Amino acid sequence: MDERLQTYNKLISASGRASHWPLALCFFRELQDLQQGDAISYGAAVNACEKGSQWILAITLLKEMDAEQFQPDLITYSSAASACEKAGEWPSALHLLAKLESHHVSADVVMHNAVISACASGEEWELALDHLGELSKKSVQSTIVTYSAAIISCARCDQWPKALQLLADLEEARLEGDVIACSAAISACEKAGQWQLALCLLADLDERGLDADVVVCSAVLSACGRCQQWRRALQLLEDLPKRRIRGNVVTYGAAIAACTKGEQWECALRLLATLHHQGLESTLVACNAALLACEAGGVWQHTLHLLQGMRAQILKADLLTYSTAIGVGEKSTHWSLAVLWLQELGKLRIQRDVLAYNPAVSACVAGANWKLALGVFAQLSQDRLNPNAVTWEAALSACQAGEQFRTACSALAAAEAQALGGVQCEMRAGYGTAASRSEGSALFMTEGREEASINGQESEIVLDKTPETTKARFDLALLGYEGFQQMWMSRV
């Protein structure tokens, strides 16, 4: 071999091992400019691309090898397949395997593992299991890595029974499951809320003397939290030091979420404080979970404190953060805070949705501020949002609170125009109830007699002064949502 070629091949290989794939390709292209390079050069360059997850470049290099009539070896194909696996490009990985076998080269277990892992990354669990089943026909001995990849594919697609079956198949194949395989199975159970099975798998690890890591414990803890087993989750967190495991942000976040599910807001806030005391920076997920706990408890003071803490950490809030805070304002009957947080959400240029508006409108209604409630309702059009059934009901409640029954008529008509005629919106005032029903444009009210004139269309609404509900039909020109918005923007 030419000494210069040998030197370049070493440089390409060294750059690849150091994960400097751009440098490796730079050396490779220099070698090509010198009109040198061999199969080893290409193999080293493909391996460098695999380290950098550059699957397109890896396949491109394989095509160049064909053009140069260099035959890639099994290691080169495996490297390319591994690059595809990291990118979730399972079709390309399968194509590489088929191409390898077309050259009458038998793929080894490493190549097959890469293909199964690629299927797992692409959430193609059925393909992964089919490929696993084919290995015995090809006289390829599966390894723990093979089964772990298949279990991971099932876990990612919420196929927890399949994942557990594969774990059982490990013993039949006389392979002892490791932490990776058990961790994947526990993850599958966690997503499915199978907390009992997750605890059993953790106990099985302990019995076999395998040390569960923080990822495994976090998954078990999260499984308990999903099913409102917050006490078990806290016990797992307390036992971490006995396992010589230091909890991380993910662990505490899962514990906080468990307390939130169990409506234990005080416990959730204590865990968030413990996280800070241990020198760990809270994440948005952990803070949002704590805010959800505050919403369940309706504790607005702690919500204020959490939002201030997030600003101090320069932790960027999202829509869930403020939607939850607005919900706290509604439950604690602090309408001013709910409206303030809704407006702050807009100032941060976070796209508001109708779920953020609903509690703000409801909070204003509960706070006897019907004019502001309708004003907030009118802002929906500025965000190009359509109200849903909850929003319309809150708006009608605001009309009821302000005895704006003619406006209620237009609101009901607008709701029908938005195809929400089937939604019953009850308004209680004075002597009785006003409700919208889907039977034509019928209106049920109990509050005197009134002439309604909307858009020049006369509508006589006969109202009975007794608590009984009187049915009255009216011929009302439908304003539509935009018309209703404009009318209230001019009044509020």
Q: Rounded to an integer, what distance in angstroms lies between the CA atom of residue 344 and that of residue 304?
A: 13
Phi-psi map region of 65: left, alpha, beta (phi>0 left; psi -120 to 50 alpha)? alpha
Domain-by-domain residue ranges, the chain? 178-247, 259-368, 399-492
Q: Are 316 and 282 in contact (CB under 8 A)?
A: no
What does the pLDDT read at residue 389?
A: 84
What are the residue ranges in the chain where pLDDT is below 70? 1, 176-177, 404-492
Judge contact between 85 and 122, C-beta under 8 A. no
Q: pLDDT at position 475, please? A: 27
For residue 407, the model assigns a pLDDT of 66
- CA dihedral (302, 306, 307, 312) in degrees, to 10, reads 140
Tell me which amino acid residue 271 is: L
Q: At 440, is the secondary structure helix, strand, or coil?
A: coil
Give the pLDDT score at 209: 83
> Is there a contact between 434 and 427 (Cβ–Cβ < 8 Å)?
yes
Residue 65 CA, chain-centre distance (Å), reads 42
pLDDT value, residue 179: 81
Angstrom distance (rounded) from CA 468 to CA 476: 23
User: Is the pTM above the cut of 0.85?
Assistant: no
Q: Give the integer Cα–Cα distance in Å for 256 and 108.
A: 45
Q: Where are the alpha helices (DSSP H) in 68-143?
A: 74-86, 90-102, 109-121, 125-135
Comparing CA positions, the residue from 138, 120, 139, 141 lying closest to residue 129 is 120
pLDDT at site 77: 93
pLDDT of 259? 92
Q: How far apart are the C-alpha atoms of 220 and 214, rounded to whole Å?
A: 10
Query: What is the spatial order of strands in the sheet that 432-436 belongs to?
Result: 426-429, 432-436, 442-445, 470-473
pLDDT value of residue 408: 66
What is the distance between the alpha carbons of residues 260 and 202, in angstroms, rounded to a whole number?
24
User: In angstroms, rounded to a whole number, what is the distance separating the alpha carbons of residues 409 and 240?
Assistant: 61
Distance CA 466, CA 475 (A): 24
Q: What distances in angstroms separate CA 454 from CA 241, 282, 359, 480, 488, one per listed residue? A: 71, 54, 29, 12, 13
In sequence order, which residues have a C-beta less than 8 Å from that of residue 94 and are 6 or more positions away?
A: 115, 118, 127
CB distance 401 to 427 below 8 Å: no
Q: Are 310 and 318 in contact (CB under 8 A)?
A: no
